[in-house]
């Protein structure tokens, strides 16, 4: 039913009146000086003098209650129905306080007259209309070191006359658990609100110990679920936790409710502290919940604090933000004890814990997957890409549009009362308490702890840039002082159309910051507020979904009061509109599924929407997928890679990434000459590879008993001996053997013509370099296929350049001609991918190479030499990176080959730029006769100056170089050290990485290229596998990318955000994000095979199963044979377009496509051989 906005109350009059009053009161203040967007309203001016004062006693301190310094929350809502938002502060050792908003940013303390004072240790505040009388009540959680009765939670019922009566016991909500916060939701969709109670425990001993999880509901620190029921004519709350499946222990500090999987039923996200994993309780629609954290998320924060759910990229799906405590400066990082033990991390995973890291997390919602009745969602953790992963000792995480530009920004509160994680403090304490009694230990701890400094930190503000990244505008937007802030709310207290910030402070007055955006930028961005009026059982409309549409854009919010840390806010829903002056339509889905669509709302207004006017149509929930692909199963086309889990980090304490888990590779070719493409998968050390032969209905495995001890890397089918069948070349790699081991010898397996292979050790020279890729082409133009083999690493000597090989085919035997043809190739670097490609269209195939710590490199073929060519790349001074893969294609249809490069990506705490690269210095720094490698990056110090600092902790450095104990006797000396002091004057070499983004190099001719980075959706993980294909058949090449990298040190966190990307080519070398093909896991190689007139893509996984998927239904695509001897061609396409193609034997990441066929949509192809190009 179409509704007009004229049917609704648009409260312009009151808004204008209040704005005029505000302008009159404050105009004189702002004429004197230019102020920033957020300005502090002094306690004298506001009347808010609440101070959450914490006093440390020898009988009452953090030894008696670990959460002694965790602070309190805030509740905000219009408690007296005058249209202004009032404030309730939770007090720990002081009484909680209630302040009534009098307008003009002035508040009155009415705690005593209202009867809302508290004793005990109040924590979280939830504003709710619990008795459905259309007046807001307050539920206050209590915890602390006191007795059970002092921890009894409180319920203040609004008497509608400015007073409240505590009635928790009457409602069955006087719970005495150690409660952090309560969230109200209608989990059973019966119309009334139920309650989820977030708990922790007083027992913190072993809180970070990897012990078996307690999931049976009997643990003292289990959360609780209360269902509202009617009993004897009144409503009470009944504990249904056990029956509902709320049974998993945790140290709960944050809780958020929303319909995460978009099925119409509310779900619950719980942020847990310490080793206890976060929980994602998905509503099963039958009164029960199931924890789906492991199937929805890849990893999470270790010390989960506050959390929030919001649509940060305006795609209609909710992201998850969780605050943690990763320091912003290197000094704080090096001084802070964190859980980075590889052994504990491994043990935790073996016990069923999901990976978790000390950092804020931002879980990007990628859509739905699977065919289950209860739809599953999948998320990519992108906090590092977004630039919000490290904000200090953070508590509240809140999402809101702070500048009314239509994008939700981020706020984090910060600070801790004592620096108890200081490593030097911990070390000193351990030494002093050795062999002491517990009483002596406690006395010493108290004495030391009381003299520790406070960790006062600025709260942080981040502006949403609309591209999955955020800009830190803390200093640009505010004059925030360093503080001890905990609970916080964001709300429009002065009704001027922008959102203000209020934080609860320890041992200081609460901080109220007025947002002056509308006053400063009155003619720019606008807003729309929506005031919900629900039905009689849920007057606030809690759980309602609201979408707005304006000028082709959409925004989405779900209305739940509890957000951030210990805090809640009940008030109008706020949308920033940017420059738009009208909202085209508003779509409301009430908690019971009833929908309402409204049209043409003017900006800068408050719109009231009543459920009583909604239509009777219901929506059970709509699930949406961002997948353009379809995972399929083909008989016999399967391979499971089994990694041997070599302990790389125990051997090299400074190694930042494992080098023993780089496979498996994949190769395609018709090995038995039946016209069907077959597949070979490389094996890990101690595990053989696998050969699959294609037949009419699927694939069948052929026994492959060869050389299981080797670690297979690059693999390649080629007819090196000219007998018209495909033989197999396998590169040996990894780092589990000593440098120079015979197990790094590459291998050739000769085909007998029927798909039977026999190893022949006489065909190759000695190659004892741990290798990566192998590619073939006739670079000397004598009619047979020659090889380039890229060296990957030098075991035990990372990052020393390994040996690479140029192998000339001499009548079926390969000779090492590297020195004669191109001596620079011998120790070029750590090669990851290479391509034989005629980049300059001179008819000679050139060698293009990328690698780790290497630049994009071309060796130009002169006919008798391969000479290094320095390419000019517009926009870049250096292309050194952590490159993984390389493919070639004519992306702009101009008849030359452009290049697509897969890199490490941008979703990491390690940042690189043209000005501030990542570096690795290697030399004998401790003068013990062996080399060490020190990884560094640039990071801003306490004064905002960029400094080059080591990424390693003091412990890691001293484990590798014990002689440096004298230089760095404590953590302070190491955290304060300059990298120059670390290097001293010792001889060493340095490698750099200036570029971590994946992207394209467009060939402009004359050895000049232009760089274009992929969209940020493709930068969230390393790009390993790469494939070029025209997915939408528009005549421009598109891309499929896959990749993750699990084998990183704990402090860096594993790279696991990648599910693959489908990118549409725009015809100029740039690409737009299209969809996600859902290839999670530690993905590596990517190739494709034509099966039953369908192009099937295969993705290998390290230590996992290969997956197969269709990227798009074929329309014009067809399989076309490549003539013998053809090396390139011109495709003639529709609409008069044509483009160059090249035939590659080996490309991408450890990948080979069938070189005997191409899959094309061309009307015709003009083929060229080397002879025809002369």
877 and 947 share one domain: no
The domain boundary, picked from 508, 530, 552, lies at 530
Band (1078; pLDDT cuts 50, 70, 90): confident
When mean pLDDT is compared over 60-64, 339-343, 472-476, the highest value belongs to 472-476
Q: Is the pLDDT of residue 624 over 70?
A: no
The answer to whether residue 870 is domain-embedded is yes
Nearest CA to 976 out of 330, 424, 420 is that of 330
The answer to whether residue 1166 is domain-embedded is yes
The answer to whether residue 218 is domain-embedded is yes
Each residue of 178-235: pLDDT tens digit?
999 999 999 999 999 999 999 998 878 888 899 899 999 989 899 999 999 998 888 9
922 and 1042 share one domain: no
Each residue of 83-125: pLDDT tens digit?
999 999 999 999 999 999 999 999 999 999 999 999 999 999 9
> How large is the average pLDDT for residues 262-290?
98
1032 and 1136 share one domain: yes
Q: Is the pLDDT of residue 20 over 80?
A: no
Helix (H) or strand (E) holding 526: strand 526-533
* Cα atoms in the 13 Å half-sphere on the side-chain side of 322: 33
The answer to whether residue 573 is domain-embedded is no
The answer to whether residue 1096 is domain-embedded is yes
> How large is the average pLDDT for residues 381-389?
99
Q: Is the pLDDT of residue 873 over 70?
A: yes
| Cα gap 578→526, rounded to integer Å | 6
CATH number for the domain harbouring residue 500: 2.130.10.10
CB atoms within 10 A of CB 962: 11
- Residue 623 or 962, more confident: 962
846 and 940 share one domain: no
The string over 733-765, giving b where at least 16 C-beta atoms fall within 10 Å of a residue's C-beta and e elsewhere, is bbbbbebeeebbbbbbbbbeeebebeeeeebbe
Each residue of 21-73: pLDDT tens digit?
333 333 333 333 357 999 999 999 999 999 999 999 999 999 999 999 999 99
The domain boundary, picked from 510, 530, 550, lies at 530
Contact yes or no for 346/450 (Cβ under 8 A): no
> How large is the average pLDDT for residues 405-423?
98
The domain boundary, picked from 992, 1025, 1041, lies at 992
Q: Is the pLDDT of residue 277 over 60?
A: yes
The per-residue pLDDT for 30 is 37
* Cα atoms in the 13 Å half-sphere on the side-chain side of 882: 22
Residue with tokens 């669509």: 597
973 and 1016 share one domain: no
| Cα gap 607→587, rounded to integer Å | 13
| Cα gap 213→605, rounded to integer Å | 51
Q: Dihedral angle at the C-alpha atoms of 595, 600, 606, 608, nearest 10 degrees?
A: -30
Supply 416's token pair: 């801790």
From residue 583, how far is each of 580, 826, 927 by CA, in Å? 8, 64, 69
The per-residue pLDDT for 2 is 41
Band (617; pLDDT cuts 50, 70, 90): low
Each residue of 1123-1162: pLDDT tens digit?
999 999 999 998 889 999 999 999 999 999 999 998 888 8
> How large is the average pLDDT for residues 787-814?
98
The per-residue pLDDT for 1076 is 83
Nearest CA to 515 out of 498, 493, 503 is that of 498
The per-residue pLDDT for 12 is 40
> How large is the average pLDDT for residues 891-902?
98
Q: Is the pLDDT of residue 961 over 80?
A: yes
285 and 389 share one domain: yes
Band (1113; pLDDT cuts 50, 70, 90): low
246 and 361 share one domain: yes
Average pLDDT, the chain: 93
654 and 706 share one domain: yes
Band (375; pLDDT cuts 50, 70, 90): confident
Each residue of 999-1012: pLDDT tens digit?
999 999 999 999 99
The answer to whether residue 27 is domain-embedded is no
Q: Are strands 946-950 and 988-993 parallel, antiparallel or unpaired?
A: unpaired
Supply 954's token pair: 């003091």
> Could you tell me where the DSSP H helices lie in 395-437?
423-433
The answer to whether residue 145 is domain-embedded is yes
| Cα gap 654→1051, rounded to integer Å | 12
Contact yes or no for 723/713 (Cβ under 8 A): no
Q: Is the pLDDT of residue 614 over 70?
A: no
Contact yes or no for 69/99 (Cβ under 8 A): no
Supply 855's token pair: 């630049």
Contact yes or no for 982/846 (Cβ under 8 A): no
| Cα gap 86→17, rounded to integer Å | 19
* Cα atoms in the 13 Å half-sphere on the side-chain side of 902: 34
Each residue of 722-754: pLDDT tens digit?
999 999 999 999 999 999 999 999 999 999 999
Q: Is the pLDDT of residue 15 over 50?
A: no
User: ∠ CA 347-350-353 to the nearest 5 degrees?
Assistant: 90
The answer to whether residue 654 is domain-embedded is yes
1029 and 1131 share one domain: yes
Contact yes or no for 157/119 (Cβ under 8 A): no
Helix 423-433 crosses helix 438-450 at what angle (to 10 degrees)?
150
Band (521; pLDDT cuts 50, 70, 90): confident
| Cα gap 585→878, rounded to integer Å | 49
- Residue 815 or 27, more confident: 815
Q: Is the pLDDT of residue 629 over 90?
A: no
E strands, 752-897, are 757-759, 770-777, 786-793, 805-810, 813-816, 830-837, 846-854, 857-861, 866-869, 872-874, 881-882, 885-889
The per-residue pLDDT for 628 is 53
Question: What's the domain range around 1045?
Answer: 629-914+994-1170
1041 and 1075 share one domain: yes
922 and 823 share one domain: no
The per-residue pLDDT for 372 is 72
Residue 634 makes CB contacts below 8 A (sequence gap 6+) with 698, 699, 1091, 1096, 1108
1050 and 948 share one domain: no
**Least confident residue range of 396-410, 540-554, 601-615:** 601-615
Q: Is 939 helix (H, G, I), strand (E, B) or coil?
A: strand
Supply 302's token pair: 């270790």
Contact yes or no for 934/655 (Cβ under 8 A): no
Q: Looking at the 3D structure of the chain, how many domains does it have?
A: 3
CB atoms within 10 A of CB 585: 16
CB atoms within 10 A of CB 83: 17
């Amino acid at each position: 039913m179409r509704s007009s906005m004229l049917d609704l109350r648009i409260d312009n009059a009151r808004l204008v009146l209040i704005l005029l009053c505000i302008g009159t009161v404050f105009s004189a203040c702002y004429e004197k000086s230019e102020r920033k967007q957020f300005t502090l309203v002094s306690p004298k001016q506001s009347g808010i003098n609440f101070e959450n004062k914490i006093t440390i006693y020898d009988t009452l301190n953090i030894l008696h209650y670990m959460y002694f310094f965790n602070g309190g929350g805030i509740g905000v809502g219009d408690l007296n129905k005058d249209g202004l938002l009032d404030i309730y502060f939770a007090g720990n050792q002081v009484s909680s306080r209630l302040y009534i908003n009098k307008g003009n940013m002035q508040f009155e303390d009415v705690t005593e007259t209202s009867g809302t004072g508290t004793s005990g240790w109040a924590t979280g505040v939830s504003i709710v209309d619990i008795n459905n009388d259309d007046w807001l009540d307050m539920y206050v959680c209590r915890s602390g070191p006191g007795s059970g009765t002092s921890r009894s939670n409180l319920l203040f019922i609004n008497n509608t006359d400015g007073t409240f009566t505590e009635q928790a016991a009457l409602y069955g909500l006087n719970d005495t658990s150690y409660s952090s916060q309560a969230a109200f939701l209608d989990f059973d969709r019966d119309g009334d609100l139920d309650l989820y109670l977030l708990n922790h425990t007083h027992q913190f001993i072993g809180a970070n110990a990897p012990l078996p999880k307690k999931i049976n509901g009997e643990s003292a620190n289990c959360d609780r679920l209360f269902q509202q029921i009617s009993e004897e004519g009144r409503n009470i709350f009944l504990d249904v936790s056990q029956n509902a499946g709320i049974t998993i222990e945790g140290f709960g500090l944050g809780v958020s409710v929303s319909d995460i999987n978009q099925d119409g039923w509310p779900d619950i996200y719980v942020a847990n502290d310490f080793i206890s994993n976060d929980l994602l309780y998905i509503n099963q629609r039958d009164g029960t919940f199931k924890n789906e954290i492991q199937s929805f998320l890849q990893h999470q924060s270790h010390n989960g604090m506050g959390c929030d759910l919001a649509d940060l990229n305006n795609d209609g799906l909710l992201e998850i933000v969780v605050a943690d405590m990763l320091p912003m400066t290197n000094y704080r990082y090096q001084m802070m004890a964190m859980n980075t033990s590889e052994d504990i991390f491994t043990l935790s995973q073996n016990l069923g814990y999901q990976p978790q890291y000390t950092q804020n997390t931002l879980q990007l919602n990628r859509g739905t997957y699977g065919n289950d009745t209860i739809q599953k969602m999948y998320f990519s953790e992108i906090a590092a890409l977004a630039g919000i992963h490290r904000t200090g000792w953070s508590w509240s995480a809140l999402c809101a549009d702070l500048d009314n530009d239509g994008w939700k920004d981020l706020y984090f509160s910060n600070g801790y009362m004592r620096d108890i994680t200081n490593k030097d403090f911990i070390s000193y304490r351990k030494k002093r308490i050795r062999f002491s009694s517990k009483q002596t230990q406690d006395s010493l701890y108290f004495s030391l702890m009381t003299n520790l400094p406070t960790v006062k930190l600025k709260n942080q503000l981040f502006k949403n840039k609309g591209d999955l990244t955020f800009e830190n505008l803390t200093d640009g937007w505010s004059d925030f002082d360093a503080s001890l802030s905990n609970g916080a709310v964001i709300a429009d207290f002065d009704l001027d159309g922008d959102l203000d910030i209020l934080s609860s402070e320890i041992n200081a007055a609460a901080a109220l910051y007025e947002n002056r955006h509308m006053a400063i930028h009155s003619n720019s961005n606008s807003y729309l507020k929506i005031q919900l009026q629900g039905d009689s059982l849920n007057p606030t409309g809690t759980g309602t979904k609201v979408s707005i549409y304006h000028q082709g854009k959409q925004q989405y919010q779900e209305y739940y009061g509890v957000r951030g840390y210990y805090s809640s806010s009940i008030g109008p829903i706020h949308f920033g509109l940017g420059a738009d002056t009208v909202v085209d339509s508003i779509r409301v889905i009430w908690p019971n599924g009833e929908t309402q669509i409204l049209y043409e709302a003017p900006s800068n207004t408050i719109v009231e929407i009543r459920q009583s006017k909604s239509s009777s149509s219901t929506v059970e929930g709509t699930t949406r997928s961002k997948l353009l692909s379809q995972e399929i199963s083909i008989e016999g086309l399967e391979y499971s890679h089994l990694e041997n889990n070599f302990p790389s980090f125990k051997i090299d304490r400074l190694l930042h990434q494992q080098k023993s888990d780089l496979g498996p590779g994949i190769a395609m070719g018709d090995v038995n000459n039946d016209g069907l493409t077959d597949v070979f998968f490389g094996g890990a050390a101690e595990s053989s590879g696998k050969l699959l032969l294609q037949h009419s209905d699927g694939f069948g495995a052929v026994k492959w008993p060869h050389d299981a001890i080797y670690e297979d890397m690059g693999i390649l089918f080629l007819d090196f001996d000219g007998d018209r069948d495909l033989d197999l070349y396998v590169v040996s790699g990894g780092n589990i053997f000593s440098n120079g081991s015979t197990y790094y010898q590459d291998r050739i397996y000769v085909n007998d013509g029927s798909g039977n292979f026999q190893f022949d050790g006489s065909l190759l020279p000695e190659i004892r370099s741990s290798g990566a890729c192998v590619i073939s082409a006739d670079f000397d133009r004598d009619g047979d296929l020659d090889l380039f083999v890229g060296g990957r690493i030098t075991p035990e000597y990372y990052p020393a350049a390994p040996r690479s090989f140029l192998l000339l085919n001499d009548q079926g035997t390969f000779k090492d001609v590297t020195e004669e043809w191109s001596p620079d190739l011998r120790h070029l670097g750590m090669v990851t991918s290479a391509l034989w490609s005629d980049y300059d269209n001179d008819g000679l195939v050139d060698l293009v190479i990328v690698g780790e710590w290497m630049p994009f490199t071309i060796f130009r073929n002169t006919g008798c030499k391969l000479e290094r060519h320095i390419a000019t790349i517009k926009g870049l001074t250096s292309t050194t990176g952590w490159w993984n893969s390389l493919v070639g294609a004519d992306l702009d249809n101009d008849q030359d080959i452009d290049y697509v490069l897969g890199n490490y990506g941008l979703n990491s705490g390690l940042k690189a730029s043209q000005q501030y690269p990542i570096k690795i210095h290697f030399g004998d720094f401790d003068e013990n006769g062996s080399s060490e490698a020190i990884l560094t990056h640039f990071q801003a110090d306490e004064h905002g100056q960029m400094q080059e600092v080591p990424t390693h902790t003091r412990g890691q450095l001293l484990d590798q170089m014990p002689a440096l104990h004298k230089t760095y006797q404590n953590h302070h000396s190491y955290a304060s050290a300059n990298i120059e002091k670390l290097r001293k004057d010792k001889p060493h070499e340095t490698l750099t990485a200036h570029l971590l983004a994946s992207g394209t190099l467009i060939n402009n001719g004359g050895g000049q290229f232009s760089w274009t980075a992929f969209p940020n959706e493709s930068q969230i993980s390393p790009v390993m596998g790469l494939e070029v294909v025209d997915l939408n058949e528009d005549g421009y090449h598109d891309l499929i990318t896959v990749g993750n990298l699990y084998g990183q040190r704990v402090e860096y966190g594993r790279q696991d955000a990648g599910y693959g990307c489908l990118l549409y080519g725009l015809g100029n070398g740039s690409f737009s994000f299209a969809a996600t093909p859902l290839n999670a896991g530690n993905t590596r190689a990517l190739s494709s095979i034509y099966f039953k007139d369908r192009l099937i893509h295969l993705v290998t996984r390290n230590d996992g199963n290969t997956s197969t998927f269709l990227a798009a239904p074929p329309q014009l695509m067809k399989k076309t044979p490549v003539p013998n001897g053809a090396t390139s061609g011109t495709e003639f396409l529709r609409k008069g377009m044509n483009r160059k193609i090249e035939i590659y034997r080996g490309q991408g990441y450890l990948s080979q496509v069938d070189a005997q066929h191409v899959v094309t949509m061309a009307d015709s192809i003009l083929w060229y051989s080397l002879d025809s190009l002369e």
